[in-house]
Structure 1
Amino acid sequence: MEFLVILIVVLAAFLIFRFFRQRMYLKTLTEDQFREGYRKAQLIDVREPQEFKRGHILGARNIPVTQMKQRLVEMRKDKPVYLYCQGGSRAARAAQLLHKKGYKDISVLKGGFKKWTGKIKQS
């Protein structure tokens, strides 16, 4: 029983540390904030191609998080990067990868594409 309590405490501490560390390099933006800046940034949809084809934010490029490492050459480090996925978790993973690779200005759409009310394009 004691081991289980220690394991839970350690896991909770790890998750709290990770959360605060992520907040140091990742900006989570509301839809209005996202809309204000995404035209001047690299707008990246990190969902899979079939999701992207069903609908995406107008002007977005599709670089799935599963392909991000191989496609980093398509992204510039000197421009802001705006990421989104369906709900937010894949975009956060992509942001973590970009941060490790030296990208500095990374933002994620709060709530993801499912909360987006702006213009979309469907293929």
Structure 2
Amino acid sequence: MKQITATEVQNMLKSGSALNIIDVREVDEVAGGKVPGAVNIPLGLIQFKMNELDKNKEYIIVCRSGGRSGMAAQVLESYGYNVTNMIGGMMSWAGEME
């Protein structure tokens, strides 16, 4: 499974890169702030919502600490999606939030 750090994601956003970020935390967790532009798909819904994702795009998967996003990344990867887990999750995020 590919991995990326929160700092790398922050730098990519600062440089203007268009990223596809999926936050797999629960709705109440995301209400406290998320990576700008991230789409919330709670981990429990990922298998039901994956058909809405494009296998030709690359997705960065985010959660609170990196555990749930790792599980989501494994599931998506097993179905042929191009995914990268943001290690450390939002606990490592020092950038702006929305």
Output the TM-score relative to the length of structure 1.
Answer: 0.71
- SS for the counterpart of 1:109 is strand
Q: State the partner residue of 2:68.
A: 90
Q: Does 1:116 align with 2:97?
A: no
Q: Which amino acid aligns with 1:54?
A: G
Q: Which moved more, 1:59-68 or 1:39-48?
A: 39-48
Q: Whole-Å Cα distance in 2 between the matches of residues 106 and 77 of structure 1?
A: 9
RMSD: 1.6
> Displacement of 1:107 after TM fit?
1.1
Q: Whole-Å Cα distance in 2 between the matches of residues 41 and 57 of structure 1?
A: 11
Q: List gaps (5 residues or longer) in structure 2.
A: none
- Residue among 38, 41, 54 paired with 1:76: 54
Q: Whole-Å Cα distance in 2 between the matches of residues 78 and 41 of structure 1?
A: 13
Q: Structure 1 residues 101, 69: CA separation in 2 closer, same or farther (over 3 Å shift)?
A: same
Q: Whole-Å Cα distance in 1 between the matches of residues 94 and 47 of structure 2?
A: 30
Question: Contact between 2:22 and 2:60, CA under 8 Å: does it hold in 1?
Answer: yes
> Displacement of 1:73 after TM fit?
2.0
Question: Contact between 2:25 and 2:40, CA under 8 Å: does it hold in 1?
Answer: yes
Q: List gaps (5 residues or longer) in structure 1.
A: 1-25
Which aligned runs of 4 or more in structure 1 are off by greater than 6 angstroms? none
Q: Which has the higher helix share?
A: 1
Question: Contact between 1:42 and 1:75, CA under 8 Å: does it hold in 2?
Answer: no
Q: State the partner residue of 1:13.
A: none
Output the TM-score relative to the length of structure 2.
Answer: 0.88
Which of these two proteins has the greater Rg computed from alpha carbons? 1
Aligned length: 95
Q: Percent identity among equivalent residues?
A: 32
